[in-house]
């Protein structure tokens, strides 16, 4: 399958700081990437759809000013968690979608812990 990388894999930060997470498609170009969040023992929850060259589309209840998404190229999307709080601690996973179908390939995830 296609390879998607995510960096960093783990981050611990203080409350009030901002954290940037990068998602890269390594062997294909992805016009669409997705950002998910997963709390313990729960399913993946879609946060936003990131389209290259345009504004991201956020799901209901997700604050666009808090979770900044930039998709500047066909291989890179970034998620910045601004003014992070302990309740933002979660497993953040990105995925990239092949233009030929609906299959999504996931990055390894970033485990964010806000103290």
Partner 1 sequence: RKEVEQDPGPFNVPEGATVAFNCTYSNSASQSFFWYRQDCRKEPKLLMSVYSSGNEDGRFTAQLNRASQYISLLIRDSKLSDSATYLCVAPGGRTTDSWGKLQFGAGTQVVVTP
Q: How many residues bind partner 1 (CB under 8 A)?
A: 22
Kindly compute the dihedral angle of the four CA atoms of residues 97, 47, 22, 56, in this order, to the nearest 10 degrees: 70
Could you give the CA distance from residue 100 to residue 30 in angstroms, rounded to a whole number? 10
Q: Binding mask 12-51 vs partner 1 (x if CB under 8 A, - otherwise)?
A: --------------------x-x-------xxx-x--x--
8 lies in the binding site for partner 1 (CB under 8 A): no
49-78 binders of partner 1 (CB under 8 A): 49, 57
As measured in angstroms, the least distance from the Cβ of 71 to partner 1 is 14
Asked if residues 30 and 97 have their Cβ atoms less than 8 Å apart, the reply is yes
Q: Which is nearer to partner 1, 34 or 88 (CB)?
A: 34
Separation in Å, CA 50 to CA 46, 80, 94? 11, 13, 10
- Residue from 25, 75, 78, 97 binding partner 1 (CB under 8 A): 97
Partner residues linked to 7 by β-bridges: 22
Least Å distance, CB 46 to partner 1, is 6
CA atoms within 13 A on the CB side of 74: 7
Query: Which residues of this chain interact with partner 1, rule CB under 8 A?
Result: 1, 32, 34, 42-44, 46, 49, 57, 91, 93, 97, 101-109, 111
């Amino acid at each position: 399958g296609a390879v998607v990388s995510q960096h960093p894999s783990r981050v611990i930060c203080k409350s009030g700081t901002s954290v940037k997470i990068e998602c890269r498609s390594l062997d294909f170009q992805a016009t669409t990437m997705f950002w998910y969040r997963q709390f313990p023992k729960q399913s993946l929850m879609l946060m936003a759809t990131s389209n290259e060259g345009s504004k991201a589309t956020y799901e209901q209840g997700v604050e666009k000013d808090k979770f900044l998404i930039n998709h500047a190229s066909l291989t890179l999307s970034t998620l910045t968690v601004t003014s992070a709080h302990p309740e933002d601690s979660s497993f953040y996973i990105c995925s990239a979608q092949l233009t030929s179908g609906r299959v999504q390939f996931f990055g390894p995830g970033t485990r964010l812990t806000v103290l």
